[in-house]
Amino acid sequence: MTDEEIYAEDEAHYLPVFARYKIVLDHGDGPYVYDTQGKKYLDYLGGIAVNVLGHNYPALVKAISEQAGKMIHCSNLYYTEVQAKAAEKLSELSKMDKVFFANSGAEANEGAIKLARKYAHLADKDKSQIITAVHSFHGRTIATLTATGQPKYHEGFGPLPNGFSYVDYNDIDQLEKMMSDKTCAVMLEAIQGEGGIHVPDEKYLQQVRKLCDKYNALLIFDEIQCGMGRTGTFFAYEQFGVKADIVTLAKGLAGGVPIGAFMTSNKVAAAFKLGDHGSTFGGNPLACAAANVVLDTIKDDNLMGNAKNVGNYLMGELNKLREKYPALIKEVRGRGLMVGMEINKPGREIVDACLNYGMIINCTAGNVLRFVPPLIINKHHVDELMPVLDRVLATQ
């Protein structure tokens, strides 16, 4: 098929919910992807923080291929070695007792919300308020879009489930006023992703922890975008010296194979009885085989250290551009390889121009250029990005 035929066929049949760029991707290699015309792109989006090992990572391809040859799927009514191993690894990394596997971020959060509600209801049937942050993003299912503190995601989908309230991120006074004995959980991203890469103040998450303890509410960290070593520690919340009651992962966990997970303590997990939650596909052998390789590689290849070093270098270089274009660039922020550059105008045009020059970046929250590349990139890849960005920004 020609690209034109692919566009036409897709547009005729695929539900148009994505504002797509007119390229057809064909294959990838490390931090690069190639379109059907053979044009090469450096991938600073990584499938939106998914391709943590880049594309076509040999050990990942091998593990998936071997697992596919043995058994792609079996019901969660049976045990598999790959799932037991993946659960053990996540327990160790999170220092939590129990893990549940889902298929996506929204599903992981949905499970976390269900668990928090069940846990709170055992103490008090009216203890159901879930507080989330303005500009948060937690998913697209009815409960998780309600948890998402952005009205544009709610419009037209009511009636939405009850019991969700919103506070400004990083504003502890607002949270304190909102909380009570009826608060079931506070759910936050340790660093906001879709909302525009917002890093909280050093003390904020610790203060949130204290309020949760005071009101016997659970603290849920959505680490779906900021987790998996991207910010320099396995979970971003670790850098703020806090502990969660429930933490969720997805995106990069299986390097591109759909998966989600939540982790929690034995105490909280005990609220779920047999049959209270489940998933047909969640944590199936194919996904878990992939997750095991991703988790091992992050550890063995020190990808967290790499994310921190290369991320610092990237932020330093972006800050040089900010100094060069002070009227255009407002702020560079982030941790490790989760970086945003806020500009004073919509970012779409810049993203388009970068694409033209073989550079895949993304814009979130309208005017924040977002860089969430594979964790395997090195300084040379940053040096490849900078002249392109410079050239594009010069024309703005």
Ligand X SMILES: *Cc1c(COP(=O)(O)O)cnc(C)c1O
Which residues here bind ligand X, judged by CB under 6 A? 104-106, 109, 137-139, 189, 193-194, 222, 224-225, 250-251
Q: Shortest approach of ligand X to residue 137 CB, angstroms? A: 5
Q: Shortest approach of ligand X to residue 107 CB, angstroms? A: 7
For residues 376 and 27, what is the distance between their CA atoms, to the nearest angstrom? Answer: 17
What is the gyration radius of the CA atoms in the chain, in angstroms?
Answer: 21
Q: Shortest approach of ligand X to residue 217 CB, angstroms? A: 20
- Contact residues for 117 (Cβ-Cβ < 8 A; gap 6+): 128, 130, 184, 185
Nearest to ligand X of 188, 341 (CB atom):
188
Q: Shortest approach of ligand X to residue 221 CB, angstroms? A: 10
Q: Shortest approach of ligand X to residue 387 CB, angstroms? A: 30
Judged on CB neighbours under 10 Å (0-12, 13-18, 19+), 195 is buried
**Chain residue at closest Cβ approach to ligand X:** 105
Nearest to ligand X of 105, 283 (CB atom):
105
Packing angle between helix 303-324 and helix 379-394, nearest 10 degrees? 20
For residues 361 and 314, what is the distance between their CA atoms, to the nearest angstrom? Answer: 13
Nearest to ligand X of 110, 322 (CB atom):
110
Nearest to ligand X of 105, 229 (CB atom):
105
Phi-psi region for residue 348, left (φ > 0), alpha (ψ -120 to 50) or beta? alpha
Query: For residue 363, what are its two tokens?
Result: 């814009």
Nearest to ligand X of 132, 297 (CB atom):
132
Nearest to ligand X of 49, 329 (CB atom):
49
Q: Shortest approach of ligand X to residue 21 CB, angstroms? A: 19
